[in-house]
Amino acid sequence: MLLAEKGIQKSLLNAINQNKPLFQTNKKPNEMKELSIENKQEYLNEHYPFSEIPNLSDKNRCIHCYEIITVGDFKVFKGDSGFEFICCPNAPECDGTVIDWQPIK
């Protein structure tokens, strides 16, 4: 297992421990409805699943499309259950969500 994968597992476990919803969906973003977010920093503050909330200007690597993305370019898609997924800026072509982002150092 890659070190990065261990990091993600740890983040997932933290999310479980904090009773936060898991960002797993078997639906592709293009089957969900995209929401337009007016204040993205505020949205992240309220919906980001992990404790360290990034800044909109932070750069991360999406491990689904392997592109370096700017956090503030995230998209939000709403599933049938009403749950809102923070998705890769390359959605719907990329099905990565916020848990698939790795900080780049």
Residues that bind Zn ion (CB under 5 A): 62, 64-65, 88, 90, 94, 96
Q: Which is nearer to Zn ion, 84 or 100 (CB)?
A: 100
Report the nearest approach of Zn ion to the CB of residue 11 (Å): 17
Q: Residue 84 or residue 99: which is nearer to Zn ion going by CB?
A: 99
**In angstroms, what is the minimal distance from the CB of 19 to Zn ion?**
27
Closer CB to Zn ion, 11 or 90, in the complex: 90
| CB < 8 Å & 24+ apart, contacts of 84-93 | 84/35, 84/47, 85/23, 85/25, 85/29, 85/32, 86/23, 86/44, 86/47, 86/48, 86/49, 87/29, 88/62, 88/64, 90/62, 90/65, 91/29, 91/30, 91/34, 92/28, 92/29, 92/30, 93/65
